[in-house]
Amino acid sequence: MPAKEDAKFEKGDYDGVIADYDRFIALNPKIAAAYFIRASAYEAKGDVDKAITDYRKALEIDPLNDVTKKSLERLDAAP
């Protein structure tokens, strides 16, 4: 995660992280990590449905990613 988003996470600015990654995903929709990071921000906000959607999209792009699989399992939304 870039330093700017890292700092936003630390400050609890999850909406800022989401907005940044909305723009990034619009330009680069095939980057699994972008969906994962946005999902993490949604999860931190308590928006579980959006987090699950983004974790699933990240897993669709990178189906072997165990971290993403564990995130879905943690939310009781097995891949």
What does the pLDDT look like over 19-67, one tens digit per residue? Answer: 999 999 999 999 999 999 999 999 999 999 999 999 999 999 999 999 9
More confident residue, 7 or 23: 23
Percent of the chain with pLDDT over 70: 92
Confidence of residue 2 (pLDDT cuts 50, 70, 90): low
Q: What residues have CB less than 8 Å from 41, skipping those under 6 apart? A: 9, 14, 17, 18, 21
Domains delineated in the chain: 3-74 (1.25.40.10)
Q: What is the pTM of this model?
A: 0.90
Identify the weakest region by mean pLDDT among 11-15, 31-35, 73-77. Answer: 73-77
